[in-house]
């Protein structure tokens, strides 16, 4: 059988999660295959969360803090329906759907995409999915930040840990991606289209959707482009990428009679990895040039025989050049995390128990020091995971 998801550069670097679970094959022959799989993941979490106190005007009270302890359970069941059809002319058609049932009672969707192309050659994918991971964090059993990442939203009142993920995918308005292998070189060009004001979340203090204190407006549909070039040589791999919006004035804020284009955001990133039988080492760099702020993040993580350890440092610099209503100066976020996997519990393949922990802290060096609500967080987790 010809298999377009064989262990290749694209499979290793783009979608390790798909390769980790083959599922149950319903059809598997020379014309194609269809399988059903998925995983179960349930967590027991404890977090110690520290926040600055604010006065009646919303400003942070210098030197003040309040701490809360949170204990909860979270989790979900993911189902994956994956199919491939091969033709005598050497082409392939693929479909993948991943409904998600959360323990909260919500029903969501991870992936839903259709693709076609040449077997072991070019591929065109459309729908809902995640493109190449330019900031892999290894075995991140429990990883939170005193701030926000593009896994969630950019939020005023929180430091930003930029990770080259604003254009990575799973957007609500549609995606299109071209990819191809050229020996040891992998090329990918992905895009996202539609309303990108959804990148900006509710202000941590007043609940408004703002950027540097001004209300965010969707003016036009955006087109985000994210090319990736990767190279794999034996145990070593490296990839470089950028992401940018191609539509001018797509998302704006208004300062008096002036419209300011906050969709003018350009990101750059590099990731490298080295793997052996026992070790997996990863180093990441990401940089975002946005309106009145620059965001730089570096990270390293290592995995050795089930034990994972990582460190991420984010440095943000804020200016008041175009928008005069926000902080000025620097803010840094330092995060460490660790985890350990007990594999094949009860001698059952693909059933693991993970122990995870993290600690993260904001160093607010802005002039006013009255912007960031979060201070320091610590968490521990026990995760039960089974692939079927």
**CATH number, residue 154:** 2.40.160
Mind listing the pLDDT tens digit of every residue in the chain (388 residues)? 334 333 344 443 433 333 344 578 888 888 899 999 999 999 999 999 887 666 655 556 656 678 889 999 999 999 999 999 999 999 999 999 999 999 999 999 999 999 999 988 999 999 999 999 999 999 999 999 877 776 668 888 888 999 999 999 987 788 999 999 999 999 999 999 999 888 898 876 677 889 998 999 999 999 999 999 999 999 999 999 999 999 999 999 999 899 999 999 999 999 999 999 999 999 999 999 999 999 999 999 999 999 999 999 999 999 989 998 788 899 999 999 999 999 999 999 999 999 999 999 999 888 876 677 778 899 999 999 999 8
What Cα–Cα distance (Å) separates residue 336 from each residue in 271, 373, 378, 381? 18, 20, 10, 14
In a domain, 13, yes or no: no
Tokens 């990918």 belong to which residue? 188
What span, in angstroms and rounded, lies between the C-alpha atoms of 381 and 74?
10
Q: What is the pLDDT of residue 16?
A: 37
What span, in angstroms and rounded, lies between the C-alpha atoms of 23 and 34?
10
In a domain, 4, yes or no: no
In a domain, 165, yes or no: yes
Tokens 């470089």 belong to which residue? 240
- Cα dihedral 17, 20, 23, 27 in deg (nearest 10): 90
- Chain centre to alpha carbon of residue 336: 17
* Parent domain of 379: 53-75+118-387
> Element (H or E) spanning 13, and its range?
helix 9-14
Pick from 136, 137, 116, 135: nearest CA to 127: 116
Pick from 96, 121, 109: nearest CA to 33: 96
Q: What is the pLDDT of residue 50?
A: 85
In a domain, 6, yes or no: no
What span, in angstroms and rounded, lies between the C-alpha atoms of 373 and 369?
10
What span, in angstroms and rounded, lies between the C-alpha atoms of 336 and 145?
9
Nearest-5° angle of CA 251, CA 269, CA 6?
A: 110
Q: What is the pLDDT of residue 374?
A: 76
What span, in angstroms and rounded, lies between the C-alpha atoms of 171 and 178?
17
Tokens 């693709």 belong to which residue? 115
Q: How many domains does the chain have?
A: 1
Tokens of 97: 């759907």
Q: What is the pLDDT of residue 58?
A: 56
In a domain, 150, yes or no: yes
Residue 9 near residue 229 (C-beta atoms within 8 A): no
In a domain, 67, yes or no: yes
What Cα–Cα distance (Å) separates residue 10 from each residue in 97, 152, 163, 179? 19, 26, 20, 9
In a domain, 24, yes or no: no
In a domain, 15, yes or no: no
258 contacts: CB under 8 Å, gap ≥ 6: none
What span, in angstroms and rounded, lies between the C-alpha atoms of 200 and 291?
13
What span, in angstroms and rounded, lies between the C-alpha atoms of 65 and 118?
58
């Amino acid at each position: 059988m010809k298999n377009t998801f064989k262990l290749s550069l694209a499979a290793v670097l783009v979608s390790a999660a798909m390769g980790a679970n083959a599922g149950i094959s319903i059809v598997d022959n020379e014309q194609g295959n269809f399988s059903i799989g998925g995983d179960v993941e349930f967590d027991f979490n404890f977090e110690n969360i520290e926040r600055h106190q604010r006065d009646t005007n919303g400003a942070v009270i210098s030197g003040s803090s309040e701490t809360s302890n949170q204990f909860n359970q979270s989790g979900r069941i993911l189902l994956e329906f994956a199919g491939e059809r091969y033709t005598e002319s050497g082409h392939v058609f693929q479909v993948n759907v991943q409904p998600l049932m959360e323990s909260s009672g919500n029903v969501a969707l991870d992936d839903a995409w259709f693709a076609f192309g040449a077997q072991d050659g070019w591929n065109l994918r459309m729908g809902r999915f995640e493109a190449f991971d330019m900031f892999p964090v290894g075995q991140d059993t429990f990883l939170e930040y005193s701030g926000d990442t593009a896994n969630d939203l950019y939020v005023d009142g929180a430091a930003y840990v930029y990770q080259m993920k604003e254009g990575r995918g799973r957007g609500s308005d549609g995606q299109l991606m071209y990819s191809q292998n050229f020996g040891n070189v992998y090329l990918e060009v992905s895009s996202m289209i539609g309303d990108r004001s959804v990148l900006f979340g509710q202000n941590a203090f007043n609940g408004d959707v703002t950027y540097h204190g001004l209300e965010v407006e969707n003016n036009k549909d955006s087109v985000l482009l994210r090319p990736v070039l990767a190279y794999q040589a034996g145990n070593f791999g490296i990839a470089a990428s950028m992401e940018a919006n191609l539509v001018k004035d797509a998302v704006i804020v208004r300062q008096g009679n002036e419209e300011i284009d906050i969709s003018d955001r350009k990101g750059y990133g590099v990731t490298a990895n080295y793997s052996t039988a026992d070790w997996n080492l990863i180093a990441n760099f990401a940089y975002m040039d946005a309106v009145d702020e620059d965001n730089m993040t570096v990270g390293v993580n290592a995995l050795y025989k089930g034990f994972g350890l990582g460190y991420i440092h984010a440095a943000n610099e804020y200016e008041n050049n175009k928008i005069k209503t926000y902080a000025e100066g620097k803010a840094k976020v330092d995060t460490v995390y660790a985890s350990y996997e007990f594999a094949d519990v009860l001698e059952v393949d693909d059933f693991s128990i993970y122990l995870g922990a993290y600690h993260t802290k904001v160093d607010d060096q802005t002039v006013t020091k009255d912007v960031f609500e979060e201070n320091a967080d610590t968490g521990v987790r026990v995760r039960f995971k089974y692939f079927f």
